Amino acid sequence: MNIPDTEKKIKQHISSYKSSLNKEKKTYGSINDGAGKRYLLFCLYFLLGDPKKSSTYIEWYENEFPDDSGEPIQILCWAIMLYQMGKTGEAKIKLAELMLSNLYFIPKIIGIEIPEYNMWHSSNDCESDYFEYTPSQILDNLSVTEIKWISQLYNSSEFIKIRNRYVEIFTVLKDVKDVACRRVLLEESYQLLSILT
């Protein structure tokens, strides 16, 4: 992931990516975005540090991609931007989404070493080495306060309960082949964050 190193270049990349996505929608009626520019924009807005512009982009993204599950680096930036806006309730839920999108991601941010879980990992985004793709600029831009907030929530009873049940479900899924049984387990996993709302 190539991240520009100046505010001017960040703004130029934002403008270029947004123009490309809008052009795609105008041409085809929808946005496919195989290159993942919609995710890169979260990183760029996070680094830009303009809450108003970040909020506008988040609203646009939610309207354009209502069913998009996202990817861990994007979700991290999203959670922190919400936290910076003072939307701590929404930020908490988004951080929980990050935790379940990749169980190794938050521990590496807060300096905890955990072994790899012997469970089903549904995609490469869920693997332990995914963290290595995180741009250093993103990690360097996290404040001490933000890392403390991440750590407190990660170690909270709510997050531990959600995380433990998620691991239990995906450990079972590793060996379950029956489609109906898998569907039941996956449906439960999709509801785990409901205790936060």
pLDDT at 63: 94
- How far apart CA 167 and CA 102 sit, in angstroms, is 11
- pTM of structure: 0.94
The number of helices, as runs of H, and strands, as runs of E, in the chain is 10, 0
Question: What token pair was written down for 92?
Answer: 């908490």
The list of the chain residues with pLDDT below 70 reads: 1
Whole-number pLDDT of residue 157: 97
Count the Cβ atoms, other than its own, within 10 Å of residue 179.
8
Cα radius of gyration rounded to whole Å, the chain: 17
Per-residue pLDDT, 103: 98
What pLDDT does 34 receive? 82
